[in-house]
Structure formats: structure tokens, C-alpha cells
Chains A and B, each alone.
Chain A
Amino acid sequence: MYGNDFVDPDEPLNAAESGGVEDAMAAASAALARRPDGGSSFDALLAADQRIEPRDEMPEAYRKTLIRQIAQHAHSEIIGMQPEGNWISRAPSLRRKAILMAKVQDEAGHGLYLYSAAETLGVDRAELLDMLHSGRQKYSSIFNYPTLTWADNGAIGWLVDGAAIMNQVPLCRCSYGPYARAMIRVCKEESFHQRQGFEILWTLLRGTQAQKDMAQDAVNRWWWPALMMFGPPDTGDAATAGGHTEQSMAWGIKRFSNDALRQKFVDMTVPQALKIGLTLPDPDLRLNEESGHWDFGAIDWSELWRVIKGDGACNAERIEHRVGAHNEGAWVREAANAYAGKRHRAQQDVYVA
């Protein structure tokens, strides 16, 4: 019944394919080519839109902000393995299972790129993991929502990864070199994540009534939390005090406000929903002819604060699972260590002989 109304696979479907990543790469090499006129102090480098590298001088507050942000980002990647990892054994086909495993492996890889970037700022990965495990550092609160049906994997790929890409593409131009480079790798890989999610939903929508309902139900549950992923309002009258936006923008860590990115996400996503026949759960959603943007309803921020403070459906479960996985892997790390020691000693014996 959907006939030829399909999405052209060559059309840029998400922000990762819209040229933003390429622009960031071009900007980075252009920045390299420009010599800073005012010397190589932190401020001069920032003013010339040059990248700050690990051994450059930087204000302590800049270093601390980056460690916090990169660590939280890394934690989100590895905690983000759980909602979908939950469905690997129950994926409806071998094809879906292979895709889901590749995606979850990618999330692990993204976590490692980011921990590696954080370590260039002088922290140890093990310290950061300790802080995650003991609740002293946070991860994105989106992962505290449960994946109740198979369709949730579609909604996560399409909406959650879609929102993540929207957030991450500008980070490819972040002033801190190792973070920006890690984000370029991440964004390139995320593109398939969003597309496979969209494909899951599109497939369900061409199925039985029960499958269509399942897809719609998942989108109903993930839409608002996905919009909250961009963070509290930081422009206009609604701006929440105490945000980091202004300072982060001055430091070239953040390039766009939360609200600007959220609007961009809505504008990109609504036409996609319309095209495959999904209803977004917002009665106030309408195209504003004047601005050309999609106006959307008020976000219930009390929900975000509640989930961040620990009252989400899965907060305790996520950390418990992570700590469990870490502890269960201890023997592998010990074995690798013992083997390395043994080989090292064997090599020394050869030298002695």
C-alpha cells in the first residue's frame, strides 16, 4: 500500500550524511593552514579557530570541562550498548542480529575513542570508569529508558542516534583536537545506526496491524526523551540558569545552542515521520509558514530532571549491569596480564642465554 513511496537511499538521510562532517574536516585542515598571527597562546589559538592539542597550555577550567564532557560522552557510549544489547538474542532474523551486534560493537568502539581522547588530558581510563561505577560521573539520561519491544530498536536508531548525530556533528569542529578527531570517526560510523533504525520502523509499518501499532507505540515513547537529549533550554526567556553553554561556546567546545540543535532535529525528523506514516506524539506540532520551521509543544523538563536524579525506569539496572560486566571480565584481564608477564620472562631468558 505504500507503493513507490520509499526513501531514496542516495538522499542524505541524516546529519552525518548532510556534509557537516566533511565541512568540519575541511575547517580543521583550513585552520591548520592558517598561521595564528597572535602567537601560540591559548587565546590566540582559539581566536584563529585553531585546534588546541594535548601538550599546549590551556586553562585548568577548560581542561576540567573537557574531561567532564568527554568522559560523560564516553560513558554514554558504553552504557548505550545495553538497551539494544538486550535485544541481540531476540532479533527477528539473522540479518537483524548481525546488524545489531555490529551496532553495539560500534558503541563500544566509540566509547574507546572517547576514553582515549580523555586520557590525552591527563586522566586515566580506569579512574573514569570508577567514577561511572560509583555514580560520580553521569551518562546520557536517555539510556535510563527501557526497550520494551523490538520496535524500540528502530525508534532508538532513528530518534536517539539521530539526535546524537545532530549533537555530534558540530563537535567535529570542537577546539580540542583529540575530541574533534574522535567525533569525526564516530559520526561517520553513526550514519548506519540511524538508517538501520529507520529501516526497522519502515519494515514494521508495512507489516500487520500489530506490527504497525508496535512501531507507533515505540515512537510515542521515544519522541519526547529524544528531544530532551539536547539538554535544557539555553536561549531566550526559557534559558535555565547554571548551564555551561555560554562558556563552552566561548571556548569553541560547543558551536550551537541546545535549542538551535533541537529545532534542527525536529525540522529534519518530522518530514521523515510523515513520509513513512508515523504520527509524532505532539498535538502542537505544525509547520510555521513564517519561519519555515516546525513548531513543537512544551517539553516536560521535570521528567528529565527526575530521570537524571535517578528516578528513571532503568538507572539502577544500567549501572548494576555495567559493574557486573566489569567484574566478570576481571579474569580475562588477569589472564592477559599473566600471559604478557610469562612471554616477557621467556624473552629475557633468551637474552640471558
Chain B
Amino acid sequence: MSTPALKGNSPERSWPLWEVFVRGKRGLSHVHVGSLHAPDAEMALRNGRDVYTRRQEGVSLWVVRSTDITASSPDERDSFFDPAADKVYRHPTFYDVPEDIEYL
């Protein structure tokens, strides 16, 4: 992590982009809601609160530097997720059982 450099009178140009995740309520997982620029993680959290939870939309907030996220490529989507495509036997509906059996 390098210190953001000052550039002219517009330092926010070099502020990193942060992805914001909100936990709507206890028991739910954090969900991506958007992004913002901030000089550091603490400011990103504060600004994330102001921008994305003005109506009590969350009980917990995560901010992650966008550059720290490694994403799968849409170009490789088919081959990347291919291994699961031909394994229908991972689903319970794959199996034949007599019709009148209950609780199975």
C-alpha cells in the first residue's frame, strides 16, 4: 500500500476506489452496494455510512479496496464454471425413487 500522492489541487484524483458491502440485518450476509473514493479505510467507512445507509439500511459495513479484489473473467466464464455443468447427480432431483415414499 503506497501513500496517495498529492496531485495539483485535486488530491482526490489519486484516492483509491473502495467497494462497499452492507449487512442489512443480523443473520444476512454482506451485499455489495456500490463504491466510493476515500483516502483511507477509515474515511471510506465513514463516507460509506453516509452514502449507503442514510435510512438504516445496515448494521455492519465492509469496505475493500477495489484493487484488492481478484475477479474471474467473463471471457472464461464457460470454461471456468464448466466442471460443475455435467454433475447433475449433485442435485437430489437426479435420483429415481418410488412415488409413494414420503419424507425422502
A interface residues, Cβ below 8 angstroms from B: 40, 53, 55-57, 102, 105-106, 109, 112-113, 116-117, 119-120, 124-126, 178, 181-182, 185, 189, 327, 330, 333-334, 336-337, 339-341, 343-345
Contact = CB atoms under 8 A, between A and B. Distances in A.
Contacts of B1: 344
Contacts of A55: 71, 73-74
A137 to B, nearest CB: 17
Which bracket fits the contact residues of B?
Answer: 20 to 34
A116 B35 contact: yes
B17 A334 contact: no
B51 A57 contact: no
A340 B43 contact: yes
Interface of B: 1, 3-4, 6, 9-13, 15, 17, 33-40, 42-43, 50-51, 54-55, 71, 73-75, 77-78
19 contacts: A40-B77, A57-B74, A57-B75, A105-B54, A109-B54, A113-B34, A126-B13, A178-B34, A181-B34, A182-B34, A185-B33, A330-B10, A334-B9, A336-B38, A336-B39, A337-B39, A340-B4, A340-B43, A345-B3
B10 A56 contact: no
Contacts of A57: 74-75
A229 B101 CA distance: 63
Contact of B17 (A106, A119, A189): A119
Contacts of A334: 6, 9, 11
Contacts of B75: 57
Given A53-B74, A117-B34, 17 more contacts: A109-B50, A109-B51, A112-B51, A113-B34, A113-B51, A124-B13, A126-B12, A185-B33, A327-B9, A334-B6, A337-B11, A337-B12, A339-B39, A339-B40, A340-B40, A343-B40, A344-B1
Contact of B3 (A125, A185, A344): A344
B94 to A, nearest CB: 19
A126 B10 contact: yes
A336 B43 contact: yes
Contacts of A119: 17, 35
A116 B36 contact: yes
A327 B9 CA distance: 9
A138 B40 CA distance: 31
B47 to A, nearest CB: 9
Nearest to A113: B34
B74 A116 contact: no
A224 B74 CA distance: 46
A233 to B, nearest CB: 35
A136 B34 CA distance: 26
Contacts of A178: 34
Question: 5 closest Cβ contacts across the A-B interface?
Answer: A340-B39, A340-B40, A337-B11, A116-B34, A341-B3
Given A119-B17, A330-B9, A337 B34 contact: no
A109 B78 CA distance: 37
A246 B78 CA distance: 33
Nearest to A127: B13
A189 B74 CA distance: 33
Contacts of B3: 340-341, 344-345
A344 B40 contact: yes
Contacts of A113: 34, 51
B4 A341 contact: yes
A148 B78 CA distance: 59
